Structures are given as C-alpha cells and as structure tokens.
Structure 1
Amino acid sequence: MDLVKAHGEVYSHLFAYADTLVLRSAVELRIADIIHSHGQPMSVPEIASKLESSPSPNIPYLTRVMRVLTRNKIFTVENKKENINITPLYGLTETAKCLLHDQELSFAPTLLTFTDPSIMAGWYEIGRTIKEGGTPFVKAHGESFWEMTRENPEFNKLFSSGMSAVTKPALDAIIKGFKDGFSRLEGSLVDVGGGTGYLVANIVEAYPHIKGVNFDLPQTIVNAPKHSGVTHVGGDMFDEIPSADNVIIKSVLHDWGDEEALIILKKCQEAVAQKKGKVIIVEIVLHPDRNLMCDDAAIAIDLLMMVNCGGAKERTEDEWKILLNKAGFTHFNFIPLQATLSFSIIEAFN
C-alpha cells in the first residue's frame, strides 16, 4: 500500500503542469470574462459560442477542460435538469474573478507571462546548469534575461505586462502595512530602481508631506511620466544614489546575488548617512519551514529568479540579517505585509 501511495504522489507531481497549462488555456480563451459578461452560469455550448474568432469550437475538448477547472475550484458547476437531460452550468469563483482581463487587479497578465514558452524554456535547463554552471535562461536562449528585454520588444512587453499586474496589490499592502512608518518620515524619500515612479508617486499621494524622488537608469527615467510631488533623477545605483532623508528600494535586491546586493545596500546607506535616515527595503522574506500558501509561492519565485537571472534570489530572514550586518547597518525591523507573496518591509538604520 505504501508503494501505491508513493506512485500516486509521483503521478501528482508528474502531471502538476497539466493544471497550470489548462488554466493558461482558460485565460487565453477568456472563459472567466465570457461568464462574467453573461451575468450568470453558462453551459459549455454557450461558452463556446462566445469564443472570439472561433467558427467551429471543439466542444468535447472544452468540456474536458472545464472538468479540470471545476475540479481545481477555478469555476463552480451546478447541474440543471430538464426532463431527462442534465446540463452542467459553470460559474465564477473568487479565484476566477482574479483572472478577468479588464479589471484593475487582474492576475491574468502575470499568469500569461510566467507560463509563456519563452519563460518556461529555462526550467528545462536546471539539471544541466547544476552540472555545468551558468544560468538556465541563458542556456535556453543564448542571451541573458535582461539582454532579451532590451533587444526583443515583444518579450519586453510581455514581461512588463506581467509585472505591472502584481504592482497594485503589493502597493496597497505597502501603503497600508507601513502607514505608521510613512507618517513619521520627514523630508525626502528616494525610490531606488523606481522605474517610472509609480511606487513613490502613490506614497507621496497618500502622505503629501514626503518629497518624492524617483531614481533609476537614465533610459528608464526619460520615459517616466510626470507625478505630482515627485522628481525624476537618472543615474546608476552601483555608482551613487542621491543624498536623501530616507531611501526605499522595492523588489530590486532580489535581482542580484549577495555581492551585488551588498554594494547596493552600502550605496543606500551612504545616501542617508548625512541625515541619519532609514533604508526601507520591500522584498519577499522566505519561510521554508512554514506551510502557508504564500510560502509555497515565495519559494517557487525564488526558483524563478534562479532560472531567469542566475545569482538572483529571495532570502530568508537570517540571510537578510547577515547581508544587512555586512552592509554596516546596526538596527533592522521586519514588518510582514498582508500580501500573497510573503512580502515584508525591512527597516534598516544605524
């Protein structure tokens, strides 16, 4: 019996990809959007009739896909009985509502990004990379992840779309979860690697007494829109970060190995040294021994970083403490945020 159970476990792992890719197909077909627009549960033929550019949809295939999606609690199903005929009708769960395309907090772009064949290719190279070294993404494509974003507009658009979809929920968690911290800040706040300035602009909007500075590479800043209360400054965080009362740096340090992250942290410390301010780090904090759903996602994202960016990684609390100590910080606080990916705010200061 133990062997049968073991075989079952292997099969569940073997075909885990089926759940992921069937869900991707549902997002591509906009099934959740079709049911949402209809306003009530729908049968498979009704859903099929609404598929875009599909004069002859394969209803048996769609039926089997919906069976998997209801089993995985993406959609609800209820049986409508008419005489001797039973028709399954499919409705939306809260999970399915997260996959509606035309809503502010849609997770659909992120799912489509990270299940795209170009992103998935590196995962097939993990074993070879363990034996030979290197980065899985590079082995799959012959160039780095960041080189591809620079040279391939379609890939860059795909990645930007996927990342922007997770920004709003994380931003809400940051502003709500650190409201006491932001309200006590004085003077300027430099967002290091802030992209187009969306994070610091929203912080300044919520806390107008803060003077926002968005700092990123010149080629990024040149495309940044104007934000009330925010100044854009171009530069390289490995060279110098503008002097400030406080610094915030979100989802940047996980893009780098410890050596590079240490350089960035020291530059952040130098930027606030004169004012004796804080460095506010927003990153995932791994909890490998905890068994919450967000912990599984965070550990998977750590592997995603490994596959795509080589030295990039998520870190445990102990690993963060070691890194911060090496950077010269004597005090730090960890403030968990109510977000789906184990994000925390780490206050570092002297």
Structure 2
Amino acid sequence: MSNSLINGHNPREIFQAQALLYKHIFAFIDSMCLKWTVEMNIPNIIHNHNKPITLSNLVSILQVPSSKIGNVQRLMRYLAHNGFFEIITNQEEENEESYALTVASKLLVKGSDLCLAPMVECVLDPTLSGSYHQLKKWIYEEDLTLFGVTLGSGFWDFLNKNPEYNKSFNEAMASDSKMINLALRDCNLVFEGLESMVDVGGGTGTTAKIICDTFPKLKCVVFDRPQVVDNLCGSNNLSYVGGDMFSSVPNADAVLLKWILHNWTDKDCIRILEKCKEAVTSNGKKGKVIVIDMVINEKKDENQITQIKLLMDVNMACLNGKERNEKEWKKLFIEAGFQDYKISPLTGFLSLMEIYP
C-alpha cells in the first residue's frame, strides 16, 4: 500500500478515522439491541433456566420462526461481544453454543433486587430517544429545551400531561435509586446524628425507605411533585409531601438532592439550594444539604468514566441542565449562601457532596 500522504495523513490514519466514524454512525444499534433483549425478556429466560441456555432452547421459548433463528444468534453474538452475555460451548450439547448472564445482564433481570430494565424501557422509548434527531433545530432555538422543540412542552410538563410516561419515568428513577442505595449502605456517617431529613425530588421513596430502615429514629419526608406522591402511603418514620421545590422545602436537619441539580440551569440550582438552606437553618439550627450528582474530573477519572459523564452532560444539556466540575459546583454553593462543602466518591460515576450553611 502506498505511503503517500492524503490531506496530510497516511492511509492508516484515514482508515482508523473511518472506523471511528462508522462506530458512531451505527452506535444507535447498540441501544436498540439492548432494548431488544429487554423486550424479549432474555435475561429473565436465562436466569429462570438456572444454567446457560442453548440457542435452540432460547428460540424455542421465544417461539421464533425458523427463518429468524440465525438473526437471534447474530444479535446474541453482538451483545456477548459488548459484555452483556457470555458464550459457552457445551460439549454435552453437541458443541452447540449456550448463553450465560454477565454482571451487566443480571442488572436487566426483571423482579431482581437491582434491576435497570425500567431505565432501558424509559430512555429508549421512541418519544424520548426520537427527540435527539432534532439537535440542530434545538441549537437555534434560544430558550426551548430539546423536548420543548420536539414535544411542544418542557420535559416536566410533558410528564405531568402523560400519566403513562410519567409512570415509566418514575419506575426508571426508582430502579436507578436502588443502585445508589447499594452505595449508601457504606455512608452511615453521612446520616448519623440526624433527626429529620427531606428527600427533595425523592420520587416514590425508594432511597428514603432504605435510609429509614437503616436509621429507624430518623424522620424522613419524601418531597416531590403532587402527581408523584399524592397516592403514596408512608410509615412510622416516612411520609410524603407534594409541593414545589422552587417555592419552599419542608424544614429538616438535612435535605437530600439525589440526581436533581443536574436537571437545572445554574440560576435554577441556586434558587433550589437557597430554599434548601432555609429548610436546614430554620429555628436557629445549622443542618446540611446532601447532594448526589456527578463531578466531572477529566484529569483524575479513567477515560471511560469521563466519557459517561460527558455523555450525560450532553443529555442534560437537552433539558437545559448540566453536569459540573468541582469549580462549577463550588460557585453554585457559594452563590446560594453556603460556607463550606465536602466531596466524597459514591458510585463509579456519582459523588456525594455535603454542603454547610
């Protein structure tokens, strides 16, 4: 092959660039394959089989036409290459390949303690994912969010007007909360000594229930939109209150903001934090606000973690929100009237921030 330069690059560099482009051109197929395996209930089928399942068994359970068996095999091969299944060649099954769950696909088993299938179903709903075809139009709209452009209203208004999608969104957020709960089990010091806490935007209370179980003397209020909490029942130390966090937040020793602030502009975040500050300084008390969110740190994070954080930042930009680095977080805290803060790692890509008035 000729080593002559084309536009200043050798052929090897150009072919690598082409491969990168093709990878991203067809990246939507990754999401659609993931959606397919959840829709087909394949993780549950393998889980219920109690051992790796052969292709012939799998397509029999799925009642796939014989003409599509090869296509199922190709989808499973690709999903296995991406880490969602493990392909095992079983000598007892006449060398027919079998599929086993990996850690990632175990997170898609519906009904399990840690299941992110609702997140897949919500985010990859065509109504939501289809909006991303309009990024160009959105960029030229001065004030509208991406969903304002495509759905005719802001995302939160859309949820209020569409009960079925609101239900799907709440289930997705609840599934994500279970993952955060796994991390919170090692954060006892954060909640020790507190008598009361408000979980702002706490949804159906998945996180609050875990905290209440761990600290039975802690009184916890889940505070969210009336549409979310109106028909929910509390317990001895757990209650639900509907309201608007931009107007007021119930008083407590601590306020929890879990994956809330990244949804909003800096200006809106300051308004929310100011209301939280009022809540934790009522009656002369000096409590704290606990923020669970991403902190972008390109210099220290692994490339894959940074990629997830920057990907989420683009996603939040479409809601007029953003993911922030420490400098940007500090600026928000100071402008909202807080004096000090502490950042601790929580999950692979989320941090826990304690901020003090």
TM exceeding 0.5: yes
1:284 and 1:343 in contact (8 A); partners too: yes
With 212-221 and 141-150 compared, the bigger mean Cα shift is at: 212-221
For 2:211 and 2:273, locate their aligned partners in 1 and report how far apart those are by CA, in whole Å.
21
Q: What's 2:54 paired with?
A: 43
Q: Which of 168, 174, 183 matches 1:158?
A: 168
For 1:242 and 1:323, locate their aligned partners in 2 and report how far apart those are by CA, in whole Å.
21
Q: Which of 30, 34, 57 matches 2:45?
A: 34
Look up the SS of the partner of 1:89 in the other structure: strand
Q: Which of 284, 290, 306 matches 1:295?
A: 306
Q: What's 1:253 paired with?
A: 261
Q: Which of 106, 117, 135 matches 1:108?
A: 117
1:129 and 1:135 in contact (8 A); partners too: yes
Tell me by how many angstroms 1:270 deviates.
Answer: 1.4
For 2:331 and 2:317, locate their aligned partners in 1 and report how far apart those are by CA, in whole Å.
20
Matched residue count = 342
Q: Is residue 87 of structure 1 aligned with residue 86 of structure 2?
A: no
Q: What's 1:191 paired with?
A: 199
Q: Write out aligned runs for 1:1-350 (5 A).
A: 1-51=12-62, 58-80=68-90, 86-133=95-142, 134-176=144-186, 178-185=187-194, 187-273=195-281, 274-289=284-299, 290-307=301-318, 309=319, 311-337=320-346, 339-340=347-348, 342-350=349-357
Tell me by how many angstroms 1:152 deviates.
Answer: 1.7
Look up the SS of the partner of 1:184 in the other structure: coil
1:201 and 1:228 in contact (8 A); partners too: no
With 110-119 and 198-207 compared, the bigger mean Cα shift is at: 198-207
Tell me by how many angstroms 1:27 deviates.
Answer: 1.6
2:107 and 2:117 in contact (8 A); partners too: yes
For 2:248 and 2:60, locate their aligned partners in 1 and report how far apart those are by CA, in whole Å.
58
Root mean square deviation of aligned Cα: 2.3
Residues 197 and 71 (structure 1), Cα distance of their counterparts in 2 relative to 1, 3 Å cut: closer
Tell me by how many angstroms 1:210 deviates.
Answer: 2.1
CA shift digits 1:116-146 (9 cap, x unpaired): 2111112111122223332222222222222
1:98 and 1:106 in contact (8 A); partners too: yes
1:211 and 1:230 in contact (8 A); partners too: yes
TM-score under structure 1 normalisation?
A: 0.89
Tell me by how many angstroms 1:200 deviates.
Answer: 2.8
For 1:194 and 1:78, locate their aligned partners in 2 and report how far apart those are by CA, in whole Å.
42
Residues 202 and 63 (structure 1), Cα distance of their counterparts in 2 relative to 1, 3 Å cut: closer
For 1:34 and 1:219, locate their aligned partners in 2 and report how far apart those are by CA, in whole Å.
35
Residues 212 and 162 (structure 1), Cα distance of their counterparts in 2 relative to 1, 3 Å cut: closer
Tell me by how many angstroms 1:184 deviates.
Answer: 3.1
Matched to 1:77, the amino acid is I
For 1:175 and 1:333, locate their aligned partners in 2 and report how far apart those are by CA, in whole Å.
19
For 2:340 and 2:131, locate their aligned partners in 1 and report how far apart those are by CA, in whole Å.
38
For 1:103 and 1:276, locate their aligned partners in 2 and report how far apart those are by CA, in whole Å.
40
Tell me by how many angstroms 1:87 deviates.
Answer: 2.2
For 1:39 and 1:69, locate their aligned partners in 2 and report how far apart those are by CA, in whole Å.
20
Look up the SS of the partner of 2:198 in the other structure: strand
Residues 300 and 228 (structure 1), Cα distance of their counterparts in 2 relative to 1, 3 Å cut: farther
Q: Gaps spanning 5+ residues in structure 1: where?
A: none
Look up the SS of the partner of 2:109 in the other structure: coil
Matched to 1:39, the amino acid is N
Question: Which fold has the larger relative contact order, with Cα–Cα distance below 8 Å and residues 6 or more apart in sequence?
Answer: 1
For 1:232 and 1:153, locate their aligned partners in 2 and report how far apart those are by CA, in whole Å.
19
Q: Gaps spanning 5+ residues in structure 2: where?
A: 1-11
Q: What's 2:7 paired with?
A: none
2:217 and 2:237 in contact (8 A); partners too: no
For 1:32 and 1:211, locate their aligned partners in 2 and report how far apart those are by CA, in whole Å.
38
Tell me by how many angstroms 1:82 deviates.
Answer: 8.0
Look up the SS of the partner of 1:58 in the other structure: helix
Matched to 2:88, the amino acid is E
2:178 and 2:207 in contact (8 A); partners too: no
For 1:242 and 1:23, locate their aligned partners in 2 and report how far apart those are by CA, in whole Å.
40
Residues 234 and 322 (structure 1), Cα distance of their counterparts in 2 relative to 1, 3 Å cut: same
TM-score under structure 2 normalisation?
A: 0.88
Residues 68 and 231 (structure 1), Cα distance of their counterparts in 2 relative to 1, 3 Å cut: closer
CA shift digits 1:131-180 (9 cap, x unpaired): 3332222222222222221222222222222222111111231242x211
Residues 147 and 6 (structure 1), Cα distance of their counterparts in 2 relative to 1, 3 Å cut: same
For 1:295 and 1:222, locate their aligned partners in 2 and report how far apart those are by CA, in whole Å.
38
With 210-219 and 32-41 compared, the bigger mean Cα shift is at: 210-219
